[in-house]
Amino acid sequence: MKTSCTAMILALLIGLSLSPGCIPSTPPPPEVPAPAKEAPLPASEPQEEVTAEEGVSYLRVALGADHAGQRTGSEPSVRLIPQEKEVGFLLEGHFPVEGIAIEGSLVPQEDGKWLLAGKYISSIDSFQPGPPAYQALGMLQSREGGGLEVTESATEGLILFSAPMPAADSVQQPEARELPFELVIEAPLRSIFSVIVTPF
């Protein structure tokens, strides 16, 4: 009797372990990973807001590969500084080679013109600037009958200073020399001038 009961219990246990339906037929749903935490955006570098004086804009031109040996960390530039009590501008210049300076003014004339007059002051004999020039700025417009044409602006222009820089190790003379310049510009009183220094 005891043997038959034991056999029945063993048979029942074996049957339960082999019966179908104990293992789920579909795999459990995959775990959805938690959304990744967004990395904080790097702080942007502070931007410097530059406000130019009304009626004046400034440009700089790189010296280029041929003048790489003449650089000392910056490029030459000339700015027009509005005069406080009079209509017109004073010249302010920066040159990467010691021994060169500029002074002068841009003032309106009675006949609807402007007079640019001043001088370079240099103790370097090899510094040979050219005369300044003026170019009225223009824009492309449609021409009657088709095509395009350049129309010059009477109130916007570009003043070019030709100032090839000598080598940084140029010999300085004990006395500086003055190199005057003068240019008459035809432009109305309320004109917008841009300035550029060229290395040629």
Q: Where are the domains of the chain?
A: 56-198
What the block records as the tokens of 76 is 């030459």
Tens of pLDDT, residue by residue over 74-98, are 789 999 999 988 899 999 999 999 9
Name the stretches of the chain with pLDDT < 50: 1-7, 9-28, 30, 32-73
64 Cβ partners below 8 Å, 6+ apart? 199
Strand, helix or coil at 16? helix
Query: Phi and psi (nearest 5°) for 83?
Result: -75, 145
Tens of pLDDT, residue by residue over 5-39, are 444 544 444 444 444 443 343 344 545 444 434 33
Question: pLDDT at position 132, please?
Answer: 98
44 Cβ partners below 8 Å, 6+ apart? none
Residue with tokens 């040159």: 95
Cα–Cα distance, 4 to 9 (Å, whole number): 9
Q: How many other CB atoms are found less than 10 A from the CB of residue 165?
A: 23
CB 68 within 8 Å of CB 61: no
Whether pTM > 0.85 for this model: the answer is no
144 Cβ partners below 8 Å, 6+ apart? none
Cα–Cα distance, 20 to 154 (Å, whole number): 96
